[in-house]
Amino acid sequence: MVGDDAVDRAFASLSQEQQDILESAVPAAWIPFSVVDHYYGVIARHAERDLEPLFSEVVRLGVSQTLRSVWKILIRLTTDRALLSRTPVIYRRGHSIGQIKTTIDAPGTATVVLTGWPGVPDLRRLGVAVGIKAVMDVAGRKDVTVRYDATDDGAVYHVRWHA
């Protein structure tokens, strides 16, 4: 995606405290978003890439690989309602703050509301949107679009697809 050299140079340019946090990470441990997001920003600079498209690509690939390896067959057979009802569970696996509530408004239309995260960084709002789209894409939904509006403690996501 960006190459080992860019990642290595980015890591070397982090503070010792940030390096220690990242190096001591273990599965199921939470790394502060501020450290991770800063690292993404530094990687993007060293790779001469724009942060938001790079971050979107990372989120999309991560969600897609996880779902394709674990749930690929099951996720394609599920209904829209069942699929979107799993959004809060998927969200909680990657976030230690905030919660998600999903409502299907009509066939091919849903609203996903993120609350409980005052001051959520814009990059994280984007990540949730990309994650929702990736889940819908892996599930075989066509022409998925996700747009969002920031709120004081999260965001409201408007999800559309061909039903």
Q: pLDDT tens digit string along 114-159? A: 999 999 999 999 999 999 999 899 888 999 999 999 999 999 999 9
Beta bridge partners of 147: 158
Q: pLDDT tens digit string along 4-47? A: 999 999 999 999 999 999 998 877 778 888 999 999 999 999 99
Classify residue 33 by burial, with Cβ atoms within 10 Å: 0-12, 13-18, 19+.
middle
Are 128 and 91 in contact by the 8 Å Cβ rule? The answer is: yes
Residue-range domains of the chain with CATH: 4-49 (no CATH), 73-162 (3.30.1380.20)
Burial annotation 137-162 (CB, 10 A radius, 16+ → b, else e): bbbebeebebebeeeeebbebebbbe
* pLDDT given for residue 29 in this prediction: 75
Q: pLDDT tens digit string along 46-73? A: 999 999 999 999 999 888 887 776 666 6
Q: How many CA atoms lie within 13 A of 118 on its CB side?
A: 0
Angle CA 66–67–72, to nearest 5: 135
Radius of gyration (Cα) for the chain, nearest Å? Answer: 17
pLDDT band of 76, cuts 50, 70, 90: low
Nearest alpha carbon to residue 53 among 119, 123, 135, 157:
123
